[in-house]
Structure 1
Amino acid sequence: MPPAKTDQLDLWAESGLDGDDQVMVDFLLPTGIYIQMEVPRESTIQHIKLLLWKEAQTYPLFSLLGEMEGHMFECVNQAAVHEELEDETRRLCDVRPFLPVLKLITRNCGRAERILDSKIGVLIGKGLHELDALQDQQVKDFRSKMKRISEEKMQRMQLMSWGEWLRSCYSTQLETESVENLIDKHEGVIKITMHYDQSQVCSVILYIRDCLLANESPHLTLVHCDVVKAIFEKEICTIGSVLARKASNPPLPLPPKKRTPTVRTLSVFPALQLIKGALSFVPLAVRAGLFHGTELLCKTAVSSESSSRSEHVWNKTLEFDIAVCDLPRMARLCFAIYAVMDKVKKQRSTKNTHLNKYQTIPWVNTMVFDYRGQLKTGDIILHCWSSFPDELEEMLNPIGTIQTNPYTENATELHISFPEYSTQPVRYSTVWCLVGVACVYVNKEWCNNLKEIMERDPLSQLCENEKDLIWTLRYDCRENFPQSLPKLLLSVKWSKHEDMAQLQALLQIWPKLSPRDALELLDFNYPDQYVREFAVNCLRDMSDDELLQYLLQLVQVLRYEPYYDCALSRFLLERAQSSRKIGHFLFWHLRSEMYMPAVSVHFALILEAYCRGCIPHIEVLKKQVEALSKLKAVNELIKLGTIKTKTKQAHLKEAMMTCLRQTGFIETLSNLHSPLNPNILLAGVHVERCKYMDSKMKPLWIVYHNKLLGGDTVGIIFKNGDDLRQDMLTLQILRLMDLLWKEANLDLRIVPYGCLATGDHSGLIEVVSSADTIANIQKTSSNMAAAAAFNKDALLNWLKDKNSGDALDKAIEEFTLSCAGYCVATYVLGIGDRHSDNIMVRSTGQLFHIDFGHILGNFKSKFGIKRERVPFILTHDFIHVIQQGKTGNTEKFGNFFRQYCEEAYLILRKNGNLFITLFALMLTAGLPELTSVKDIQYLKDSLALGKTDEEALKQFRQKFDEALRESWTTKVNWMAHIVAHPS
């Protein structure tokens, strides 16, 4: 592995690959010959191989090499992994080997397959040889199944007509009835008529270019339009779809054993890495719990204590008080290794030992049944995780991953053994029962109690009596409260096989839920496979646009799936391979978290399956990945110049522009689909207008030409070093709020700009055109920075400069509506750090907020004093604009603006359960301010869930008055911010 403290760019620069046009490369030939020669750093691998071949003719043993096509290069990449450069269209500067050494190796058979595997590996950020090397039958079975499905779909796609193909792949971009008229394929010429919507036609042009089905190279002719005229290359479309057949596993008779698999813990080592700072002889113990979701199925088991200087051994069988036949299919065993704290405390008096039981407990989870439904047996080695969430009961982490830690060298090993129960494999057996309506006497009090329980929010806890009532009246729930299925599931006794069978049969006749209600069933609390299949079946009613709205959560929910081949994985692949736009965002949501060890294998498998089913999309996505790599190199170059050489800003900007003008950068950064919106083609970089921003991580401000949109430019901010996932979540919720308001005929002019995490603390943000920050607007209106924040006329005067006549009235109306929307949204979501550089206004009047690093009431403080004292931002200069600069115009503010706010708040309240569900589904994403259910409690309080509309409205009005009364504190904070950031 490369040295941890060595900057990879430094290594690259020292190797000469980031400097001159020529670079010295060492070539190792299979004949044992070593050749050193200069090659152009911008050359493709294919051209470099040709140069090497000409040079090798002058060396001995050349005749033993054979044909040039029978060889390819291999290098050690930046991750210190051997990479075969099968895709020879890549340039050397894009490959960026760890050292300038290329080894020539002989190709094996199946070159086309190897090229595809190489492209997929580079694209997803994990070589497929790493998946090949995994000794995991589940991985092999999943890959084999997905490959077969993709090949079958490819054969079907090749038989489709153009109209059928477009209708199946791009239904979100095209009106179904206009597809056949839009495209006329005749004698190798594709004609596209421009009297249809321009954005639709542009989308079709771009997609056809990447996904041609023809066997010849057709010409593209645009009638009434000379924007694009291009000859397309021959390429076979292999858009696949995952329509997996449900595997049948005939149940075998269960053995007469009456206990769970007893777990015998054999050894744990090394001791010094179990508890940081602990001595090797500190007594250690193992705690184990059997869970279904977050429900503990029976009493936890604890091993005996062990003190050792090397290995810890517990000679004890851990038994659980539950019958084998009562084990749920998704039962999981959770382990934690901990120090016996009372004995450690005694040692503290004589030893300087500092222990923290929560921060240092190694933990690990494993399923009781494997992916085939077979009860696990034999010895298993589990590599533990060290990071441990706070405030978990029983010191166990059931919500944590069931994957073991891949970093085995530094991980604590836990050896466990499942006993043999039978000479034959024991499989999970589903006992189906006939469902009939039970005759249960229901009195009025029971009905009222049931109704009250069903109307509670998802965070409300159920007591045992309430669970018993729900289960008793489960048929009434089905008839009268079908959306209450989550509460019924929480009432099931998952440790009783009879109850599980009753539920599984009941699911067969349960009414279909709306997709929004079904989302809650994908939470970790509902791990049963039949429940999750029911939920996914409900999601099939989603349109593509609706699916995109919730795709962020659906990807995170994959973390809860213990097995790779599940209903949710198949559903996402099926929809992604049927819609290029869904596939685009599924790709980036998965790839952006490939660096996380707990999900890297699972996400890599889904990415590989998607790529094999959408081969034409590979080149489109590959260009985006390469472009982001180039932008990252520019960003790190600027950081390097700022930190190490203290280069002046003007010189750094010039260096940035010089870099962007290089041939390799121009080719890579031009003519690519925007990762933020795949319907937009980024034609070329407008280098003169590009810059880097003067903040800690030096984000790049990149301006693109966009010929397909009438010559308009497109701005994109590239960030490297900031985690954008919390911003992405907040903007998604803002987009949902905007949708809910519009469904209720209330348009509050929200600006949910694009934001996309693309990797480890990196991503893109859309630049909103014709907009400026409140801080800049105030500073340009005043000669003194300290006085700028108190100039209430600055904002109104700025809008007057941008708009005249009737346009000004329209701009003020836009400002009023958008200000109301963001006041309510920022209050409900608890968005903090609202200084004047985080609020912007468009020239058309729309106000909008940016930068959501603090949410759910995590307001900033300094020296223990809360800096933000208002529930939301509503300053007097905002009110001045709303009142059109007329102090006496209180009617518009009181009757219109305040009414907008109250109406918007009540609409969000009606959908409070949906917001709670969406945040709950993100709990394991690792967002800094969303780590436990307690964080979501803020939403319950801000939306006043559990109260009547009258009570909630009274609470909101109090917050509204508080925002007005304390707005002077906001102005003081803004003044301090402007003084601290004058430029």
Structure 2
Amino acid sequence: FPLFPALGEMESHMFECVNQAAVHEELEDETRRLCDVRPFLPVLKLITRNCGRAERLLDSKIGVLIGKGLHELDAINDQEVKDFRGKTLRQSEEKMQKVQMMSCTEWLQASFSQQLEPGPGPDQINGVSDRSTDLKVTIHFDQSQVPLSCTPPELMDMAVRKWLTTHGPEKEASRGQYFLRVSHSLEFLCGDDPLSHYKSQCVLYCKKGNLHKPSSSASARRAVPRAELLCKPAVSSESSGRSEHTWRDSTLEFEISVCDLPRMTRLCIAIYAVMDKVKKQKSTKNTHINKYQTIRKSGKVLYPIAWVNTMVFDYKGQLKTGDIILHCWSSFPDELEEMLNPIGTVQTNPYTENATALHISFPEYLPHAIVFPPFDKVTSIEPRRFDSKKFHIELKEIMERDPLSQLCENEKDLIWTLRYDCRENFPQSLPKLLLSVKWSKHEDMAQLQVLLQIWPKLSPRDALELLDFNYPDQYVREYAVGCLRDMSDEELSQYLLQLVQVLRYEPYYDCALTHFLLERAQRNRKIGHFLFWHLRSELHMPAVSVQFSLILEAYCRGSIPHIEVLKKQVEALSKLKSVNELIKFGTMKNARSKAKEAMLTKEAMMTCLRQSGYYETLSDIHSPLNPNILLAEVKCRYMDSKMKPLWIVYNNKLLDGDTLGIIFKYGDDLRQDMLTLQILRLMDLLWKEANLDLRIVPYGCLATGDRAGLIEVVSSADTIANIQLTSSNVAAAAAFNKDALLNWLKERNSGDALDHAIEEFTLSCAGYCVATYVLGIGDRHSDNIMVRSTGQLFHIDFGHILGNFKSKFGIKRERVPFILTHDFIHVIQQGKTGYTEKFASFRQYCEEAYLILRRNGNLFITLFALMLTAGLPELTSVKDIQYLKDSLALGKTDDEALKQFRQKFDEALRESWTTKVNWMAHNVAKDNRS
């Protein structure tokens, strides 16, 4: 090719094709496969790139990192996406310009450390004095010439009604208000007609509060919070799906004025089938309806078909108007309220080809856009004061309840009436105040906004609760993020998992929480590292795919020096996945001959790893589990379990060749293990803050993709099963050898070292007894409990939490609240039967640890509540969190709680023989010695 040199650099060109839509498409991302491009004709044209080489390379690298080419984001026809990308791009460019002007020392400080400026004091927040308890609200509609001023706030409704009467249609003017109306039609896909009758139900939700009424019954105390209806639900007429597959011109009117709609109002829609007789359910065999729980109501059986949510105001605060197509979701969470899913995403189903399409139309009330009014002026008005002394005791009792406790309407009214007393005496009670706001009254919303400006800052731990699904208000979430700014980097890392998950509750891409996380991640590379992996590991989930991709792109553009480090990790994990798939294929192919399988599979694995592309990619990478560790000289084998996980041994270049073990798993969702280990790490922190070190071993665990992740190998440790089996020739008898564990420690420790190992065992056993009881960790067989040679006991594999214990033939296999066997006691007592002093110390450790966790019970409930929409198998509704409330005995006094724990402790010790029986069965079923 004599003219080839005239082309210049290869990066200056790219291919173009005609795609299936008969449109010229530039193939900027060379990582795409031809089968994904699907050109209309097998012809590619070479063209010159319009953009510079550096820009093209950056876009390509970011596309590799986020797992999709940026052309996919470019193709999204959504102005909100375009505005967010444009804004973050400008911010990233400004940041990188500043970085280029930094000295080396300044860059290191900006990238790897953070010193916070002293924040404003509690008496001077947002520029508003603590004494400024006066109220004035100015409200106006954008593009209108008639601003509304009202002082005091009781007159606001009168002004709004007058304005609407003056400018609205005659039929609405006669009522003095606009009621929200929505027209809708429904189209089922061809062949997607599971039952003959359908209804749709639309409900306006402002996801706040607790609608359950107080009751003296025991069951009512277990009631859980749910989203609050702003007005009465609207239900459409029934339609025969078999004949038409559509509704046409069906209009629903909600009994709430447009001026009373909160900013974060969402319209929740459920489509369901109605059957008069239960026996008709048999005709739905083999349809997708069977997997959903039916709801019986008014003598009929209702079957959920689909659901979808949408915001009433768009991301600019403008009331939506015109036609909108919503593609519905067909997977339902457990325990639906009226088959609606208000906690669910406001994004529509991106898989439009297989989704039911719902066409809705918002009417135009005025000739110009209606924008949610900003509250931009606060001046002097003295609020009404009440004699709160006689209510102080009652108010104090309400404020000290746990977050899952419900509030009756009288209690809500009392809290709202005494809101300034709450601010002065119970500032940490802000969540309960927010649950008491009448969100369907714009006067209350206005007064809340003013109150938030003068509310003292909460501690970051207390502010976390304000980010869950109960508090979607924009100003509340901005206040919460303001409190989080006082977090140290270490504390932020502790709660980063939850902060990423609550992004799901943000209805708009451009929000305070997103910018806070990006800002802190770009200031500290370790935070950025884990933010990247927490986001990337869930990109396969349709509900968050676009949102998380946008945040990842923004992070990468603002942290260009970090891109190459992350890119190497992504490539290494891709290679490990390929090796794992090769092993699984080999074991399936040679399943009949176990010896032949092991030999051939090992040989194929080693041949694969010796390839230069694999060895170089897997060497000299920063560990995704800990970016401070540089991994080199990889050695690999695979484990003999169902998913054939890879056991990888690395040398740490930064620690003079110290070896580190990492397990790569593909096929299991590690996010529940990651959550449990995070909570164990938090428990360890809380105990240490109270001067109690229980020697917890919260090893590293990180989900890196769809059913893929890494687990840290704890060195010099073995399972209880292996320890017992090596001391006995009979597997059935091994579990009953109480000397096996103590002898194992004696072999590895002598003299003072043995005493230290026994003390380590005693402390760690106490910590894990309390932790596994509080978290309801199940499936505690002898291969899920390990001991280090230094004496530390620790638990692994957290596939069952919150009391979801395994059962067989309807009988629970685990009958004890936590694992405390006599061989554990034998070690604690140093092998001496009458050595009760050591056992008494162990019991005291347990009780002290339990009381410390109780004092932080609200924090644990908050952290689990923030994970509700993560899709974890055993954390799907608030009722799952009820287990924590019961195990921590929240709502009881310390004496009552301690009495309950002592009963559980005695039960665990008394019934430990059942644990031994289970361990014996486990040892016989799986010969761990092979």
Alignment TM class, shorter chain as reference: 0.7 to 0.9
Whether 1:397 and 2:341 are equivalent positions in the alignment is yes
Q: Deviations over 1:22-56 (max 9, x none)?
A: xxxxxxxxxxxxxxxxxxxxxxxxxxxxxxxxxx4
Residue 24 of structure 1 corresponds to none
Residue 651 of structure 1 corresponds to 600
Q: Which whole-Å CA distance do the structure 1 matches of 2:263 and 2:354 have between them?
A: 32
1:364-763 equivalences in 2 (<5 Å): 364-431=308-375, 434=379, 438-442=383-387, 444-646=389-591, 648-685=597-634, 687=635, 690-763=636-709
Query: 1:914 offset after TM fit, Å?
Result: 0.2
Comparing 344-353 with 954-963, which one deviates more in the overlay?
344-353
Residue 328 of structure 1 corresponds to 262
Q: Which whole-Å CA distance do the structure 2 matches of 1:373 and 1:494 have between them?
A: 17
Q: Which whole-Å CA distance do the structure 2 matches of 1:744 and 1:362 have between them?
A: 50
User: Aligned pair in 2 of structure 1 residues 102, 581: CA closer, same or farther (>3 Å)?
Assistant: farther
- Given the alignment, which residue of 753, 764, 780 partners 1:818? 764
User: Aligned pair in 2 of structure 1 residues 99, 369: CA closer, same or farther (>3 Å)?
Assistant: closer
Residue 876 of structure 2 corresponds to 931
Query: 1:314 offset after TM fit, Å?
Result: 3.7
Residue 221 of structure 1 corresponds to none
Residue 846 of structure 1 corresponds to 792
- Given the alignment, which residue of 756, 770, 777 partners 1:831? 777
Residue 50 of structure 2 corresponds to 109
Q: Which whole-Å CA distance do the structure 2 matches of 1:578 and 1:320 have between them?
A: 47
Give yes or no for contact 2:334–2:876 (8 Å, CA) kept in 1. no
1:892-971 equivalences in 2 (<5 Å): 892-894=838-840, 896-971=841-916
User: Aligned pair in 2 of structure 1 residues 99, 419: CA closer, same or farther (>3 Å)?
Assistant: closer
Q: Deviations over 1:913-942 (max 9, x none)?
A: 000000000000000000001000000000
Give yes or no for contact 1:263–1:416 (8 Å, CA) kept in 2. yes
1:220-369 equivalences in 2 (<5 Å): 252=144, 255-256=164-165, 258-270=177-189, 272-273=191-192, 276=194, 278=195, 282-293=196-207, 294-308=227-241, 309-342=243-276, 357=294, 360-369=304-313
Query: 1:157 offset after TM fit, Å?
Result: 1.3
Q: Which whole-Å CA distance do the structure 2 matches of 1:426 and 1:728 have between them?
A: 45
Give yes or no for contact 1:84–1:118 (8 Å, CA) kept in 2. no
User: Aligned pair in 2 of structure 1 residues 63, 866: CA closer, same or farther (>3 Å)?
Assistant: closer
Query: 1:372 offset after TM fit, Å?
Result: 0.3
- Given the alignment, which residue of 837, 857, 863 partners 1:891? 837
Give yes or no for contact 2:180–2:255 (8 Å, CA) kept in 1. no
Query: 1:440 offset after TM fit, Å?
Result: 3.3
User: Aligned pair in 2 of structure 1 residues 962, 251: CA closer, same or farther (>3 Å)?
Assistant: farther
Query: 1:348 offset after TM fit, Å?
Result: 6.5
CA-based RMSD: 2.7
Query: 1:435 offset after TM fit, Å?
Result: 6.8
SS of the aligned residue for 2:271 comes to strand
Q: Which whole-Å CA distance do the structure 2 matches of 1:328 and 1:315 have between them?
A: 27
Q: Which whole-Å CA distance do the structure 2 matches of 1:393 and 1:69 have between them?
A: 56
Give yes or no for contact 2:322–2:362 (8 Å, CA) kept in 1. yes
Higher normalized contact order (CA 8 Å, seq sep 6+, divided by chain length)? 2
Q: Which whole-Å CA distance do the structure 2 matches of 1:884 and 1:103 have between them?
A: 77
Give yes or no for contact 1:306–1:314 (8 Å, CA) kept in 2. no
Q: Which whole-Å CA distance do the structure 2 matches of 1:742 and 1:113 have between them?
A: 49
Give yes or no for contact 1:697–1:719 (8 Å, CA) kept in 2. yes
Q: Deviations over 1:411-441 (max 9, x none)?
A: 0000010111111111001345557563433
What amino acid is the match of 2:187? V
Give yes or no for contact 1:269–1:311 (8 Å, CA) kept in 2. yes
Residue 27 of structure 1 corresponds to none
Query: 1:118 offset after TM fit, Å?
Result: 1.1
User: Aligned pair in 2 of structure 1 residues 883, 513: CA closer, same or farther (>3 Å)?
Assistant: same
Residue 720 of structure 2 corresponds to 774
User: Aligned pair in 2 of structure 1 residues 913, 121: CA closer, same or farther (>3 Å)?
Assistant: same
User: Aligned pair in 2 of structure 1 residues 919, 745: CA closer, same or farther (>3 Å)?
Assistant: same
Query: 1:83 offset after TM fit, Å?
Result: 11
Query: 1:70 offset after TM fit, Å?
Result: 3.6
Q: TM-score, normalised by structure 2?
A: 0.86
Give yes or no for contact 1:154–1:613 (8 Å, CA) kept in 2. yes
Q: Which whole-Å CA distance do the structure 2 matches of 1:820 and 1:67 have between them?
A: 65
- Given the alignment, which residue of 79, 89, 108 partners 1:166? 108
User: Aligned pair in 2 of structure 1 residues 571, 827: CA closer, same or farther (>3 Å)?
Assistant: same
Whether 1:862 and 2:808 are equivalent positions in the alignment is yes
Give yes or no for contact 1:147–1:612 (8 Å, CA) kept in 2. yes
Q: Deviations over 1:171-230 (max 9, x none)?
A: 17x999xxxxxxxxxxxxxxxxxxxxxxxxxxxxxxxxxxxxxxxxxxxxxxxxxxxxxx
Give yes or no for contact 1:269–1:310 (8 Å, CA) kept in 2. no
SS of the aligned residue for 1:657 comes to helix
User: Aligned pair in 2 of structure 1 residues 443, 73: CA closer, same or farther (>3 Å)?
Assistant: closer
Give yes or no for contact 1:435–1:505 (8 Å, CA) kept in 2. no
Q: Which whole-Å CA distance do the structure 2 matches of 1:932 and 1:768 have between them?
A: 33
Q: Deviations over 1:727-746 (max 9, x none)?
A: 00000000000000000000
Give yes or no for contact 1:271–1:312 (8 Å, CA) kept in 2. no
Give yes or no for contact 1:360–1:387 (8 Å, CA) kept in 2. no
Query: 1:352 offset after TM fit, Å?
Result: 7.8
What amino acid is the match of 2:264? M
SS of the aligned residue for 1:319 comes to strand
Q: Which whole-Å CA distance do the structure 2 matches of 1:85 and 1:623 have between them?
A: 24
SS of the aligned residue for 2:665 comes to strand
Query: 1:63 offset after TM fit, Å?
Result: 9.7
Structure 2 unaligned runs (5+)? 19-23, 118-139, 147-162, 169-176, 208-226, 296-302
Identity %: 77
User: Aligned pair in 2 of structure 1 residues 347, 743: CA closer, same or farther (>3 Å)?
Assistant: closer
Structure 1 unaligned runs (5+)? 1-55, 77-81, 177-247
What amino acid is the match of 1:114? R
Q: Deviations over 1:497-536 (max 9, x none)?
A: 0000000000000000000000000011100000000000
User: Aligned pair in 2 of structure 1 residues 545, 926: CA closer, same or farther (>3 Å)?
Assistant: same
Query: 1:72 offset after TM fit, Å?
Result: 4.0
Give yes or no for contact 2:459–2:483 (8 Å, CA) kept in 1. yes
Q: Deviations over 1:618-645 (max 9, x none)?
A: 1100000000000000100011111133
- Given the alignment, which residue of 773, 777, 796 partners 2:742? 796
Give yes or no for contact 2:14–2:27 (8 Å, CA) kept in 1. yes
- Given the alignment, which residue of 99, 102, 121 partners 1:157? 99
Q: Which whole-Å CA distance do the structure 2 matches of 1:892 and 1:827 have between them?
A: 22
SS of the aligned residue for 2:764 comes to helix
User: Aligned pair in 2 of structure 1 residues 64, 613: CA closer, same or farther (>3 Å)?
Assistant: closer
Q: Which whole-Å CA distance do the structure 2 matches of 1:814 and 1:324 have between them?
A: 64
Comparing 392-401 with 758-767, which one deviates more in the overlay?
392-401
